[in-house]
Amino acid sequence: MAQFDVTVIGAGPGGYVAAIRCAQLGLKTAIIEKESRLGGTCLRVGCIPSKALLESSERVYQAKHHFQEHGIAVSGVDVDLSVMMGRKDKIVSDLTSGVKLLMQKNKIQVFEGMGSFVGPQKIQVQAADGSTQEIESKSVIIATGSAVIELPHVPFDGESIVSSTEALAFPEVPKHLVVIGAGAVGLEMGCVWSRLGAKVTVVELFDRITPFADKQISELFLRTLKSQGLSFMLEHKMTSVQKKDGQLTIEVEDKAGQKHTIEADRVLVSVGRRAYTDGLGLDKIGLQTDKRGKISINKHFQTSVAGVYAIGDVVDGPMLAHKAEDEGMAVAEIIAGLPGHVNYDAIPNIVYTDPELAMVGQTEEQLKEAGIAYKVGRYKFGPNGRAKALGQTEGMVKILSEASTDRILGFHIVGPRASELIAEGVLAMEFGASSEDIVRTSHAHPTLSEVIREAAMAVDKRAIHG
Ligand code: FAD
């Protein structure tokens, strides 16, 4: 029987990063993955294909709506959806093959099949052809990720009532796409298909989109998305979907209980993801999940079973690829006897639309609720020279710092390239920086990052340009 120091179950960003770090630290490592391609949800049907389509569709939108401002005349912008999808698929296959190469380079043994516990240190791998083998491992890291949530009253049909996986590969542009849920995935997919010509209606139970974001930022974000043609039905709940001759009648209910119907040809249900432990045989080792189906761990990623660890979407915390990666590195270091650590106060959260929304730390509402006295600095992209050159002047940076110490507690951006700009806020928070530290840091001119410095100056009401 093959024997390892560490076996990782699941080769998503949490699992494959953990495996590489274990191997780097001299541990004999195996990884088990049930899908034929490594990289998990993120690479196969999540972060990467969605960003590829966002990029392509944004080019279409720019060509149709903004090239003229630059004096570039284009007529009849045609989209060959199959080429666009092919580009996306190639990016996915390049990256998933890259993970395979990384496994080889780091001498990590890859087992293709479904992993399930026989005992705490013994795992069975069942290949697609039904054949099985068992491996023994001193430590096991569960990194089995998550799966889409299916609403019981609206089951997916894989064609017109779909999850994000199918919405990444529609064979043609929907006429009317209804998106249920205004979180990151719903908004990103809604923007992709809207830019490609679909009418898009987003239905959201809460009174605002991206409910995790700072309220002022999410309200500004909503206004800009509306101006691009997306429609929103906030405080509405989807109650049923009827399908007839390929057409959908979606019934929604407003907060007063009034029912409305929407006719559409596709509905994307993006109401979140659930921890995935199906077929893992947790009962064989006496491990139970919590009421949300997640695996409970302590600060060292240890489950209640000695030698069994868990990381990523399958445990508590934001369901994000970089959070899973951070945990993957930390758990490997802990298993190797080093002090692995994740700072959960400094994990960024991003929506990759245009403008993008990016945040790290606490919102104004959270600070108020916690009774923490704070200062706030805001600055808009409008006056920034680089934003003007880009033709992307919508949005703002908002920095929240502790009133008594000026330590940054929250960093919020809605605007161009927010996904890249947020790195400054994350680093600042990781180093316990104050808004004054940002003010004293030279920011190149002309760059979008100058908006961050102005927002930091605005914390003490001394923004130079406004
Ligand atoms: P996963 O990536 O889900 O990987 C788990 C792996 O385990 C899978 O490959 C699965 O096949 C395998 N597995 C499960 N059970 C077994 C078993 N018993 N035996 C063997 N293998 C098993 N996050 C971001 O940070 N940024 C984004 O831009 C972003 N965009 C997203 C867009 C979409 C459309 C979606 C759906 C998600 C997006 N996410 C994004 C979320 C991100 O994909 C997840 O947070 C991330 O993949 C979690 O990593 P993980 O390693 O915990 O799990």
pLDDT tens digits, 170-229: 999 999 999 999 999 999 999 999 999 999 999 999 999 999 999 999 999 999 999 999
Mean local confidence (pLDDT), 346-372: 98
Note the pLDDT tens digit of each residue in 283-317. Answer: 999 999 999 999 999 999 999 999 999 999 999 99
pLDDT of residue 208: 96
pLDDT of residue 20: 98
CA-based R_g, the chain, Å: 24
- Report the separation in Å between the CA atom of 13 and the middle of ligand 1, taken as the mean of its atom positions: 7
Contact by Cβ (8 Å): 182, 204: yes
What integer best gives the mean pLDDT of the chain?
A: 97
Cis peptide upstream of residue 446 (ω within 30 degrees of 0)? yes
pLDDT of residue 205: 96
Ranges of beta strands (E only) in 34-172 are: 109-112, 114-119, 122-126, 132-142, 146-148, 161-162
**For the chain, percent of residues with pLDDT exceeding 70:** 100
pLDDT of residue 447: 98
Mean local confidence (pLDDT), 338-357: 97
Mean local confidence (pLDDT), 153-157: 95
pLDDT of residue 1: 87
DSSP 8-state class, residue 302: B
Could you give the C-alpha distances from 17 to 244, 253, 330, 420, 437, in angstroms and in order? 46, 44, 10, 22, 33
- The per-residue DSSP string of 416-453 comes to TTHHHHHHHHHHHHHTT-BHHHHHTS---TT-THHHHH
Contact by Cβ (8 Å): 6, 106: no
pLDDT of residue 81: 98
- Report the separation in Å between the CA atom of 326 and the middle of ligand 1, taken as the mean of its atom positions: 14
- Report the separation in Å between the CA atom of 333 and the middle of ligand 1, taken as the mean of its atom positions: 22
**For the chain, percent of residues with pLDDT exceeding 90:** 98
Note the pLDDT tens digit of each residue in 405-446. Answer: 999 999 999 999 999 999 999 999 999 999 999 999 999 999
For residue 39 and ligand 1, the question of a CB distance below 6 A is answered with no
Note the pLDDT tens digit of each residue in 15-42. Answer: 999 999 999 999 999 999 999 999 999 9
Pairing relation of β-strands 356-361 and 408-415? antiparallel
Ligand 1 atom closest to the CA of 280, numbered from 1: 18
- Report the separation in Å between the CA atom of 275 and the middle of ligand 1, taken as the mean of its atom positions: 10
pLDDT of residue 38: 98
pLDDT of residue 150: 96
pLDDT of residue 296: 97
In one letter, which amino acid is 370?
Answer: A
In DSSP terms, 308 is beta-bridged to: 140
pLDDT of residue 315: 98
Can you tell me the distance from the alpha carbon of 98 to that of 108, in angstroms, rounded to the nearest whole number?
14
For residue 268 and ligand 1, the question of a CB distance below 6 A is answered with no
Contact by Cβ (8 Å): 449, 424: yes
SS3 state at 292: coil
The best mutation among 16, 43, 47 to test binding of ligand 1, ranked by most ligand atoms within 8 Å of the C-beta, falls on 47
323 — pLDDT class (breaks 50, 70, 90): very high
pLDDT of residue 183: 97
* 339 has pLDDT over 90: yes
Residue 446 CB partners (closer than 8 Å, separation 6+): 384, 385, 386, 389
* Residue 177: Cβ within 10 Å count: 26
Residue 72 CB partners (closer than 8 Å, separation 6+): none
Note the pLDDT tens digit of each residue in 68-126. Answer: 999 999 998 999 999 999 999 999 999 999 999 999 999 999 999 999 999 999 999 99
246 — pLDDT class (breaks 50, 70, 90): confident
Note the pLDDT tens digit of each residue in 222-241. Answer: 999 999 999 999 999 999 99
For residue 53 and ligand 1, the question of a CB distance below 6 A is answered with no
For residue 190 and ligand 1, the question of a CB distance below 6 A is answered with no
* Residue 64: Cβ within 10 Å count: 14
445 classed as catalytic: yes
159 — pLDDT class (breaks 50, 70, 90): very high
Tokens, residue 20: 């590489």
pLDDT of residue 22: 98
Catalytic residue selected from 65, 66, 300, 445: 445
| pTM for the model | 0.97
DSSP 8-state class, residue 344: G
Q: How far is CA 58 from the centre of its chain?
A: 19
Tokens, residue 437: 């530290």
- Report the separation in Å between the CA atom of 274 and the middle of ligand 1, taken as the mean of its atom positions: 11
466 — pLDDT class (breaks 50, 70, 90): confident
Ranges of beta strands (E only) in 335-434 are: 349-351, 356-361, 374-380, 396-402, 408-415
SS3 state at 174: coil
- What b/e string do you get for 395-426 counting C-beta neighbours within 10 Å, with b at 16 or more? bbbbbbbbeeebbbbbbbbbbbbbbebbebbb
Could you give the C-alpha distances from 5 to 25, 94, 287, 463, in angstroms and in order? 11, 30, 21, 55
The best mutation among 41, 156, 294 to test binding of ligand 1, ranked by most ligand atoms within 8 Å of the C-beta, falls on 41
Can you tell me the distance from the alpha carbon of 351 to that of 186, in angstroms, rounded to the nearest whole number?
10
